Structure formats: C-alpha cells, structure tokens
Amino acid sequence: MTARPVRRYLDHEETDMQRRELLMGMAGLGLSTLPGAGHAAEDAAIPTIPGPDPHTRTPTFKPPAGSVDTHTHIFGPAATYPFSPKRPYSPPDAPLELFRKVHDAIGVDRAVIVNATVHGFDNRVVTDAISQSGGRYKGVANINNAMSDDELAALGKAGIRACRFAFLKRLGGVGDMKVFRTLVDRVATIGWHVDIYLEAGTIQEFVPILKALPVTYVIDHMGTISAAKGLDDPDFKALLELQASDEKCWVKITGLERASASGPPFHDAVPFAQRLIDNAADRVIWGTDWPHPNVKFMPNDGDLVDLIPLYAPDTAIQRKLLVTNPERLFKFEARS
C-alpha cells in the first residue's frame, strides 16, 4: 500500500487512552520493553502453556490450491531460537518441522508466520523459516524503536511484510503511545502494514485511532469478540462499521475457538465470521493460529478448516479469503 502523508493521528485520543492505562496494557508485541513499559513479565513467575493437539485431523473440506494460513507461529526450538527472558508465557517447542506437518495435513502450502511474544524482538525464527520456504512463507515481525532503518529494510528483504502490536494486559506492561506512533510512521515509509491485537471490549475506543492510521491495518482474531454476547453486541457492531467504512481495515478470520462460548466444534462463532466476510469480502483473510497459545479450548486444526465452508460457502468467496486476498496483502506471487 502507498502510505498517505503522516499526520499526528493519535494526539486527540491519547488522553482517553492514558485514563484507561492504554487499555490495561499496550503490550508485549512491539512495545513492552520500550521506554515507559512495565516489567511485569520479569518480576512474576512465567506460566507454562500446553502445546497443540498433536493429532491433526485431515479435514473434509479441501482448501483451494495456493491457500495461505495468514496467522500462525513457530516456537523454537528454544535451543536454537532462545525464548525471551521477558516472555509472558513459556510454550513447548513448536518448530518448523511440526509446522510443516500440520499444513501438509490440512492441505495448505503457504503461510504467514507471526513472531510471537515469546521470542521478543529476535525475528530469526521467522526469517529463517521464510528463507527455507521457496517463497511459500512471509512474516510479521516484532520491532522496537531501537532498530535502525537498515535493520527494518533487511527484515523486509527477508520476507517480513508487517509488524504487530498487541494491546493485551496478559502480554506485558504499559507501553508508550508516542513510540507506537513513531513505529507506525516508520513502517509506513517502507510499505508494511500493521497487525493489531486488541483487548476484548475495546474496539469502540480504538476506532478513531485506527481510522487515522497512515497504513493498512489488520485486526487479529475478529477483534477478540465474544460469541456469548451475540451479533448485536455493540463492540461487534463497531467492528463491522469500522470494516465497512475504512478501506484500510482488514480483519483476520481467526480465533473462532477464542470467541466461542460453547467450545468445540465452535459453531457459535461461525455467524460472526460469516458477517465479517459478507461485510467486506475483499479485506478478510484466514488463519489457524497454530499452535494456539493461551486458548481456553485447544482446537484440532482439521476441525478449524472444516468451519470454512460454514462461514464462506461460496467458492468464489473461499478463493478470496484463502488465496487472492492474502496474495495481495502480503505480496505473495499470484497463482492463477
């Protein structure tokens, strides 16, 4: 995307954000170790989380050729890619070999690897996987303001197409909105977009901030909505209005297991995914979120794939969601 002229897009919102302590923690992915950030992850015991379901089921639904899993992670191996001492949780290793096996099982051959908080600002676990993929992988990095322009440019050459900011209390301390503004302005000049992971229940407060961003932004996990609140939830309505009114806004159709109140097979979250896809079919992308850190219900990735035809029954829409939209956003080579 061509960046529009940078302006001070957060000034008038900062007072409200500060009153809420930057929405209870502008966090870990990109900001938790920057000036003004807290050190809660250093001071508290680091919890251990479970790994993914090791028995990936072959789904009934066959994704179209060229499908892209646009939200997935690789953890370690920690002996090669050490975890950050400031990480908010400790996962078991989920290395590239397992990553590949999962995608082989579900019939997806391209992916976007999102660097998780556990690796801090060391993006090698992502860039090394990209370098071995023959063009099948792209990445989303964690960055900070200490990185030089040359370092950011090198990440871009290595296949990074975006950086991520998480506004979640559980992922770190309180960050500095001025640093956020500076980082967004910097990535705007190199053609990246930004990934935004919101605390549940905060989308309405973020709307003016997001609309004013000078870059394309992607809202993770369907805005962390709760299926229990129903389709008339004011936060979900605010997300739909933002998605419809701002062409810079994309939404990831991920995290149905996070949104679900009823648990597997997560059908109570399907209407939310369907509504988001119908609302802006050219600006939605899909992902598994493997290996599913910090989830209430551990999903099987084959089951998640079989949800796709429930919320996107039309084959043309499936192709947009899975193939052509991610090709456009992440600059993959197009497959006809």
List residues with catalytic annotation: 289
User: What is the C-alpha separation between 29 and 196, in angstroms, rounded?
Assistant: 10
Helices (H), the chain: 14-19, 21-24, 40-43, 96-106, 124-131, 149-157, 177-188, 203-211, 234-245, 256-259, 270-279, 301-305, 308-311, 315-319, 325-330
63 secondary structure, DSSP code:
P
Per-residue CA distances from 5 to 14, 56, 114, 190, 208 (Å): 20, 46, 27, 13, 17
Q: How far apart are the first and last CA of the chain?
A: 22
Token match 């709760």: residue? 226
DSSP string, 245-307: H-TTEEEEE--HHHH-SS-TT-GGGHHHHHHHHHH-GGGEEE---TT-TT-SSPPPHHHHHTT
CA 173 to chain CA mean position, Å? 19
- Asked if 256 and 266 count as a contact pair (C-beta separation under 8 A), the reply is yes
Token match 């060229």: residue? 66
90 secondary structure, DSSP code:
B
CB neighbourhood size of 128 (10 A): 16
The residues pairing with 198 across neighbouring beta strands, listed in sequence order, are: 167
CA 122 to chain CA mean position, Å? 17
